[in-house]
Structure 1
Amino acid sequence: MNLLHLNDSPGAYPPSLYAAQAGEPPRRPPLQGEARADVAVIGGGYTGLSAALHLARRGYHVVLLEAQRIGFGASGRNGGQIGSGQRQEVDWLEAQFGRATARRLWDIGEEAKALTLSLAAEAGVPTTLGIAHACRSAAEVEHARQLADHLARHYDYDKVTPLHRDALARTLGSAAYAGGDLDSGAAHVQPLALAVGMARLAEAAGAVLHELSEVTALDHGAPSTIRTSDGILRAEHVILACNGYLGSLDRKIAARVMPINNYIAATEPLGDRFPEILPQRPAAADTKFVVNYWRLDEERRLIFGGGETVTYRFPDDIRAKVRPHLLSVYPQLKDVALTHAWGGTLAITMNRIPCFARPAPNCLSASGYSGHGVALATMAGRIMAEAVAGQAERFDVMEAVPTRPFPGGAALRQPLLVAGMAWYGLRDRLGF
């Protein structure tokens, strides 16, 4: 099963609001014939684009191969949230790895956020500060309060404000949650615009980008040989930046990184209606395992993500999949039209920490951002660029975090997905 083609037409973006707003980004020609590069980058999402950009700015000849279009995968379909730190909270990181490692991981995550905001500004892509976190129980609200205090005391981060039930309700325009917090240092962005902007920056730095260039074979060596249907690329270094679309290019990594699908719908512009919804325009996410996440865009469209499926094929009616989750937060929108709806494939790891690996002496890989990829994937590209240039300290920090294989490895990922998503979806519905 090839996830690059299961749900999408060749060379076409999904029917997302983002793609409609982007118009028709520049097309890059497929790789044809034989070519050479210092570094071959496989994958045209945030990871690959960031790696290509930072390597090209260091003077490397970089060739990037994208199977579909730039930003085709999760990078161009996600909720646009540029979160703080890592996917896991610092108290969990401390319990697993100790305070020193937790602090290094937090600092990498914070640099990832700053890098992403900086590249967005350089590319002329607007960003908006603020992400609210919505808790479902009093225990979760108390944990959020303790965590905000812990971040201020021990991580020099004082931008998280705890919110009681009424304060969160005013922040969201919804009384669906028990309380939570507001992170004024986090942000949100139109994700496909960010990917397209990063591509422009990479090309301006000298990187060569090829679309419709699906890699069919990768032979490690000195140089490595990368084959597509129409061309052969030989390179001294290879960066795997495929995330949920890695497929069979490296089965050891695939056993540790599992693709999952998620779904988003966008409302018609709300105009002056429903002024109570996100009046200060933060993004938001809740504490469900299958997370609900949402934000308002510049046109005051509510862009809302949520809903699980137990197969890799997208449902026929994505609007119907997302609408109940949206209405559980905003019942006042029951008569508002959903103008766009789309699915996407992200990737998770067992511990929700990205999987950094060296498949071969001259090959680096990063994937499995677990829903925190706008910032972390962008940072992963820079970290791998540093490692190619001989500065591997931060790559080594991330690689040292253990990412266990999923039970059964890549071969049993789909049965595991079915069981896992059914179980966690049931837990969310029952309020656990």
Structure 2
Amino acid sequence: MTLSGYEPSYYSATANVSPVLAGIQGQPLRGETQADVCIVGAGFTGLSAALHLAQKGYSVVLLDAEKVGWGASGRNGGQVCQGHNMDHEDMIDKVGRQAADSLWDMSVESVELVKSLIAEHQIECDLKQGVLHVAAKPGHVEEIRESVEYKRNVIGYQDIEYVDTPDVQSMLGTDRYHGGELWKEAVHLHPLNYALGLAEAAVKAGVRIYEHTRVTDYTRGENPQVNTTEGVVKAKYILLACNGYLGKLEPRIAGKIMPINNFIIATEPLSDAQCRAINREDYAVADSRFVINYFRLSGDNRLLWGGGENYTSKFPADIPSFVRKYMLEFYPQLEDVKIDYGWGGTLAITLNRMPHFDRIDQNVFVAQGYSGHGVALATLGGKLMAEAISGSAEKFDTFANVPTPTFPGGTLLRWPGLVAGMLYYSLRDRFF
């Protein structure tokens, strides 16, 4: 049975709701309230920021147009991995060696933060160890090998190892994948239950969460005000944590991101033998295609497979059929396996695929555009915003100093340009 108010998915059908959260489920803000900080968006960024701010003694109001973890935070592939989409060498060119090293260190910190929050707050979210990034083509193998050597020898990160082609194929039971890099300290999890666990911890810390509370606009200045359809929040600080659901709320940052849709299916539960045959070590897996395939096994032995994207405001009419063909390219032996769930989610990407952190006014912060690294980096982003408000902005500013280009044409023309680029790269995935 799908948790009330959420899009149907495997995650919403297996969600944990504690008595603590049951008290705030679906409760909108009505009338006027005050807080030190008002956060817009109850995904990983907003939940992490709210929890860390409350632990520092700030009064916090957290608003969401839908429900806690309703968006990409509750629908994603559940992979929690170190690193960034931008190569470390490219970062050095953009921001210098010291800042690039700091950004790398914070990516490692982001994974440890997720694990520590799960342990501290005893969040039940099917936490498992290991993420394997594999070559979708033989020509990608050398790049992966060099990437591992660079991380070990130049950056000094040792919790990663190269896995050769025979071992990858043995682990995954397919000859369609080649060499890979194993992130030994990375993890994977049930993302909606992780989000709900953060929300419970935040409520216990004193955060006031209002669901079904759409923000219409806000006023700027020394004492900003956030206006919703039925209420008002007067605060000292505003955090915008909307990501792919920003819409027209803040035009100054809307052109920095592009919302895109990604899709996942969940099979019926597989036998232990089937699970061992396709994922012997129970790792989360992502491949090297530009439009990636990613998959992992759930806590109850389902194969969760993510594949395919679109760039419109609508999802495919038949998501299971849309995604299933990608799974069968690699595992034709699953032809007769039933697909129990299929769903999609909207995430936000940036042109350089690095998160966009910014302070757009002295008391207005934004973190968005995680480009597929949202579980770890959004959790960290919320913590860094909390630190910046409390007077320690060095780490937040390191991210904010990474140049984030605006999409050509801004919000008006970004869509056709992105579609053309994505189609080009998807053709490269298939034919080159």
Q: Which of the five TM-score ranges fits, normalised by the shorter chain? A: over 0.9
Matched, 1:20 2:13: yes
Cα distance, 1:151 vs structure 2: 1.4
Matched, 1:293 2:291: no
Matched, 1:184 2:184: yes
Q: Which amino acid aligns with 1:76?
A: G
Corresponding residue of 1:264: 264
Post-superposition Cα deviations, 1:62-95, rounded to whole Å, max 9, x if no partner, equal: 0000110100011000000001122323233234
**2:97 counterpart (99, 121, 124):** 99
Matched, 1:276 2:269: no
**TM-score (normalizing by structure 1):** 0.94
Residues 296-311 of structure 1 correspond to what in structure 2 (within 5 A)?
A: 296-311=297-312
Distance across 2 between alignment mates of 1:94 and 1:324: 39
Matched, 1:425 2:426: yes
Cα distance, 1:377 vs structure 2: 0.2
Cα distance, 1:219 vs structure 2: 1.1
**1:57 counterpart (55, 58, 70):** 55
Structure 2 unaligned segments of length 5 or more: list them.
none
Check the 8 A contact 1:310/1:421 in 2, yes or no.
no
Distance across 2 between alignment mates of 1:237 and 1:95: 33
Cα distance, 1:171 vs structure 2: 1.8
Cα distance, 1:419 vs structure 2: 2.2
Post-superposition Cα deviations, 1:337-384, rounded to whole Å, max 9, x if no partner, equal: 110000000010011110011221110000000000100000000000
The answer to which of 86-95 and 122-131 deviates more is 86-95
Residues 374-413 of structure 1 correspond to what in structure 2 (within 5 A)?
A: 374-413=375-414
Aligned residue for 2:70, secondary structure, equals coil
Corresponding residue of 2:44: 46
Matched, 1:364 2:373: no
Q: Which amino acid aligns with 1:154?
A: V
Corresponding residue of 1:331: 332
Cα distance, 1:427 vs structure 2: 2.1
Distance across 1 between alignment mates of 2:398 and 2:121: 29
Cα distance, 1:183 vs structure 2: 1.1
Residues 244-259 of structure 1 correspond to what in structure 2 (within 5 A)?
A: 244-259=244-259
Cα distance, 1:122 vs structure 2: 2.5
Corresponding residue of 1:80: 78
Corresponding residue of 2:238: 238
Percent of aligned pairs with the same residue?
46
The runs of at least 4 aligned residues of structure 1 exceeding 6 Å deviation read none
Kindly tell me: are residues 246 and 339 of structure 1, through their superposed partners in 2, closer, same or farther at Cα, counting changes over 3 Å? same
The answer to which of 19-28 and 245-254 deviates more is 19-28
Kindly tell me: are residues 23 and 198 of structure 1, through their superposed partners in 2, closer, same or farther at Cα, counting changes over 3 Å? closer
Distance across 2 between alignment mates of 1:217 and 1:386: 25
Check the 8 A contact 1:271/1:299 in 2, yes or no.
no
Distance across 2 between alignment mates of 1:123 and 1:345: 28
Corresponding residue of 2:117: 119
Check the 8 A contact 2:94/2:403 in 1, yes or no.
no
Structure 1 unaligned segments of length 5 or more: list them.
1-8
Distance across 1 between alignment mates of 2:62 and 2:236: 14
Q: Which amino acid aligns with 1:167?
A: D
Check the 8 A contact 2:40/2:63 in 1, yes or no.
yes
Alignment: residue pair count: 423
